[in-house]
Amino acid sequence: MASALETVRAAIEWLAASAVADLLAATLIVILGWYLGRLAVRVVGRSVARRFQRPSLTKTVLGAIRGVVMIGAVIAAARVLNFRGTEILLSVTVFSAVLGLVLAPIVGSVINGLFILADQPYEIGDMIELVDRGKQGYVEDITIRYTKIFTLENTFLVIPNANMRERDVINYSAEDTRSRLSLTLLVTYESDIEAARAIMERAARETAEVVEGGPDIRVGSARYPSAPVTYIKEFADHGVLLDLRYWVKEPYYMGRVESKLNERIWDELEGADVEIAYPHSHLVFDETSGTARVEIDRDGPHRSARGESDASD
């Protein structure tokens, strides 16, 4: 009886020691897999970057390589711990079901992230604008789950890719960084219109951030003059509306460029035969207007006038 108990005790001790050894071996395999994943990224990183030439795709591919290596290491560790293939498959199935039921929004963001990486609406480093929020900023990072934007207000926006695909996004950095802006000026009908147009165009050309001229700029199948051009946009109620259209070299600091251009135009309007229009009201009295009686009070410290209008036949 004693020998049997000793045998059982020895077997238990051996199994415990074997389990600890297997656990240590599995842990070492996972650690080795993590290290090999990083090593693989270092080895193939430059080749992948040259192949895809897009930071977002490069980052995603390298992350996938590390993921594959880690999955292989986890499978090897599971075999060391005597997990059977059916158990692993069952675990993956249960995990997938939980993922589908509980983490559906994250799955949706991942799928939309893949579409964003494939469609290439923007890239890391691009300046974009969220039309619905009026926010401008630089794309800091693109993952398969979210897009991180560094705004011009020195804040971060982290937006799930599912929401990004539903938004209207303006990309100011796509292909050609030159962007066309416009500035309107309302001058009186008595002003020298040609002088006003010349002043606006000259002010734009003398602004360093504005394209002075050169070959026409192509946008799709259309071509636009690269030099600043002022058009007569409308004969408005209070004056002639002039529209200056010009191209900036970079889409950054557009507010600063517009301010500098306004300052130049304002300075050059001084002394010119050009007057900025604003609403005027002209009161016309004729034979149909009736008569007005005016009374002057000379007793008070200030003179005051009071008018009345009587309708005449």
DSSP output for 269-305: HTTSS--B----------TTS-EEEEEE--SSSS--E
Write the CA distances from 231 to 100, 123, 185, 244, integer angstroms. Answer: 58, 35, 10, 6
226/278 Cα distance (integer angstroms): 31
**In the predicted model, is pLDDT for residue 12 greater than 70?**
no
Residue 309 has a pLDDT of: 45
**In the predicted model, is pLDDT for residue 101 greater than 70?**
no
Q: What is the average pLDDT across 143-170?
A: 85
pTM attached to this predicted model: 0.53
Binning pLDDT at 50, 70 and 90, where does residue 133 land?
Answer: confident
Highest mean pLDDT among 14-28, 79-93, 115-129, 282-296: 115-129
188: buried, middle or exposed (CB in 10 Å: 19+, 13-18, 0-12)? middle
Does 286 or 279 have the greater pLDDT score?
279
Residue 161 has a pLDDT of: 82
| DSSP H or E segment with residue 168 | none
27/35 Cα distance (integer angstroms): 12
Q: What is the average pLDDT across 281-298?
A: 70
Lowest average pLDDT, out of 71-75, 86-90, 103-107, goes to 86-90
**In the predicted model, is pLDDT for residue 108 greater than 80?**
no
204/21 Cα distance (integer angstroms): 76
Q: Locate all alpha helices (DSSP H) within the chain, ordered by sequence.
A: 2-52, 55-80, 85-102, 104-119, 161-164, 193-205, 254-269
Residue 37 has a pLDDT of: 77
Q: What is the average pLDDT across 251-277?
A: 89
Percent of the chain with pLDDT over 90: 20
